[in-house]
């Protein structure tokens, strides 16, 4: 075998090894490319699925937000309507239900009707009332002794309007420095003053002095003020006559 023949075979072996190496390299590159493409495809699909899921969640959240917004608007509208209705009912109540002094007057009218006074008569009296009341400048004063559990009943009343109105009073006994009860009334405690007409009709006021009361008799209103007198045991009654009604 010549040297040139041996060299040819060696070159062929080297060529075969090079070609095998290139084939393996290309095969490896193809496998790596396939794996990379598969991984890229899977990642893209996962990302697309995640995006679709997020978009669906966004749609659901948007719908929920719109629903809640609608409920909020409805609640605000309902609250405003309820507030307006309550205000209208309050105004209607104030118009139709008497308050303060008007309510006291209405209560007095109801009481008079319940006692037997005709409504027509009350309406006539109210209609005949004037904005200004005429009162006599003359004031009459008398005094009497307020009766207590220890008093003897002397000077225990006064009369006005030609004896048509009799006034009496009762109170609690006062005490001396030793704590013993005495016959005159205690000015620091409530007393009861009674006003009685000759027809037997009677009314009373009770409380701390001074006390005020009015008695209607015929076409006059007798306004009385009862206050503690200068002498112990006594009260002073002042009367002023005014036109009625």
The pLDDT of 48-71, averaged and rounded, is 79
pLDDT reading at 215 higher than 70: yes
* 223, two tokens: 């306004």
Same domain as 143, residue 230: yes
Same domain as 218, residue 138: yes
User: How many angstroms separate the CA atoms of 20 and 138, rounded?
Assistant: 146
Identify which of 227, 150, 155, 142 has the alpha carbon closest to the alpha carbon of residue 185.
Answer: 150
**pTM of this prediction?**
0.52
Same domain as 207, residue 147: yes
Task: Quote the pLDDT of residue 131.
Answer: 60
Q: Are 139 and 195 in contact (CB under 8 A)?
A: no
Same domain as 213, residue 143: yes
Same domain as 158, residue 67: no
Which stretch, 12-16, 46-50, 110-114, 156-160, has highest mean pLDDT? 156-160
pLDDT reading at 152 higher than 70: yes
Into how many domains does the chain fold? 3
pLDDT reading at 225 higher than 70: yes
pLDDT reading at 60 higher than 90: no
- pLDDT tens column, 176-209: 888 899 989 999 999 999 999 999 999 999 999 9
User: How many angstroms separate the CA atoms of 112 and 115, rounded?
Assistant: 5
User: Which domain covers residue 114, as residue numbers?
Assistant: 98-129
Same domain as 149, residue 82: no
Task: Quote the pLDDT of residue 1.
Answer: 52
The pLDDT of 114-131, averaged and rounded, is 75
Task: Quote the pLDDT of residue 64.
Answer: 81
CA angle 107, 169, 116 (to 5 degrees): 30
């Amino acid at each position: 075998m010549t040297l040139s023949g041996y060299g040819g075979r060696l070159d062929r072996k080297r060529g075969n090894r090079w070609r095998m190496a290139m084939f393996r390299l290309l095969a490896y590159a193809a496998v790596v490319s396939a794996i990379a493409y598969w991984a890229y495809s899977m990642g893209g699909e996962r990302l697309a699925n995640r995006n679709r899921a997020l978009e669906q969640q966004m749609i659901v959240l948007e719908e929920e937000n719109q629903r809640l917004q609608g409920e909020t608007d409805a609640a605000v509208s309902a609250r405003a309507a309820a507030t307006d209705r309550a205000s209208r009912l309050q105004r209607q109540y104030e118009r139709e239900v008497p308050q303060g002094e008007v309510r006291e007057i209405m209560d007095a009218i109801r009481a008079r009707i319940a006692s037997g006074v005709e409504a027509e008569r009350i309406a006539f009296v109210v209609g005949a009332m004037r904005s200004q009341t005429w009162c006599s400048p003359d004031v009459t004063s008398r005094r009497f002794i307020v009766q207590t559990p220890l008093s003897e009943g002397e000077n225990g009343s006064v009369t006005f309007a030609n004896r048509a109105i009799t006034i009496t009073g009762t109170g609690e006994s006062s005490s001396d420095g030793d704590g013993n009860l005495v016959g005159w009334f205690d000015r620091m405690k409530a007393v009861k003053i009674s006003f009685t007409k000759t027809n037997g009709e009677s009314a009373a006021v009770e409380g701390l002095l001074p006390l005020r009361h009015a008695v209607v008799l015929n076409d006059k209103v007798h306004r009385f003020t009862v206050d503690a007198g200068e002498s112990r045991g006594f009260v002073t009654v002042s009367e002023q006559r005014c036109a009625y009604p």
